[in-house]
Amino acid sequence: MKNKLVITNDGSHSIFNPEINETYHSKHGAIVEAEHVFIKNGLLAENNKQFNILEVGFGTGLNALLTAQKAKQKNIAVNYHGIELYPVKKENYTQLNFTGLIGEDNSDLLKLHECDWEAEQKINDFFKLTKNEIALENYTSNTKFDIIYFDAFSPEKQPHLWDEKIFNNMYKLLKEDGFLVTYCAKGVVKRTMKAVGFEIIVLDGPPGKRQMTRANKSISQK
Ligand SMILES: C[S@@+](CC[C@H](N)C(=O)[O-])C[C@H]1O[C@@H](n2cnc3c(N)ncnc32)[C@H](O)[C@@H]1O
């Protein structure tokens, strides 16, 4: 069964994966969700001018696109790493309507998808991208990250990507003052993160969702 494009409530596309039976984003709005969870509560939550960011589940490239746009607008230097086991196919990524909705040229999104994997690529003066085609379960890196955008399919659909082993690895990949953000606020996920040492902060969720989670590596840093 093939992935297909769907329109979410803010007019932006998402992809529906029939095997997993889940869309890549909230039906309440892909862009609205990404802006809230990963841009407002991720990239813009701290005042730094330089970040190493890891995205789990590169997918449509929406989070990378929004981060690259904000980096350029606010002069923030971003070194972005994205993990993806099943890269989105050309027939899908060429149809995505994100750039028109955020006032960018579509070549910006194409560049994110068509640049080489497994090597650092300069996307704009403020945004470097390294894409790794690898399972999250097998991912290691010498880079230490300031922020992890944890955007896997839900724990109901892929519980093995939300277990203690994975979060232990995420914890190790963060700098001492680093943090992880995710759209998910399920009790079992927060308990698993806490068990590996994270401090859990519950934040207001994007439209259609009551809560989301920020997990800090160091306790009470804020
Ligand atoms: C919820 S989607 C989000 C995608 C992306 N962040 C976006 O905005 O389009 C989850 C992504 O994780 C990817 N994925 C699934 N299993 C994976 C695994 N074991 N390791 C790495 N990525 C995986 C899927 O292919 C999909 O692109």
Any domain includes 175? yes
Q: State if residue 109 touches ligand 1 by the CB under 6 angstroms criterion.
A: no
Cα–Cα distance measured from residue 36 to residue 31, given in angstroms and rounded to the nearest whole number: 8
Q: For residue 219, what pLDDT is reported? A: 75
What residues contact 132, with CB distance under 8 A and at least 6 apart? 81, 82, 83, 84, 117, 118, 139
Reported as type and span, the H/E element at residue 65 is helix 62-74
Residue 96 has what DSSP assignment? Answer: -
Any domain includes 69? yes
**83-136 tens-digit pLDDT:** 999 999 999 999 999 999 999 999 999 999 999 999 999 999 999 999 999 999
CB atoms inside a 10 Å sphere around CB 86 = 13
The token pair at 154 is 């839900």
Any domain includes 8? no
Cβ-count burial of 44 within 10 angstroms (0-12 exposed, 13-18 middle, 19+ buried)?
middle
- CA of 57 from ligand 1 middle (Å) equals 3
Pocket test for ligand 1, best of 13, 153, 165, 181 (most atoms within 8 A of CB): 153
**135-167 tens-digit pLDDT:** 999 999 999 999 999 999 999 999 999 999 999
CATH code for the domain of 161: 3.40.50.150
Among protein residues, the one whose CA lies closest to atom 25 of ligand 1? 86
> How many domains in the chain?
1
Contact 62, 37 (CB under 8 A): no
Among protein residues, the one whose CA lies closest to atom 12 of ligand 1? 57
Any domain includes 89? yes
Per-residue pLDDT at 218 exceeds 90: no
Is 0.85 surpassed by the pTM of this model? yes
Domain housing 190: 29-216
Among protein residues, the one whose CA lies closest to atom 24 of ligand 1? 57
Any domain includes 7? no
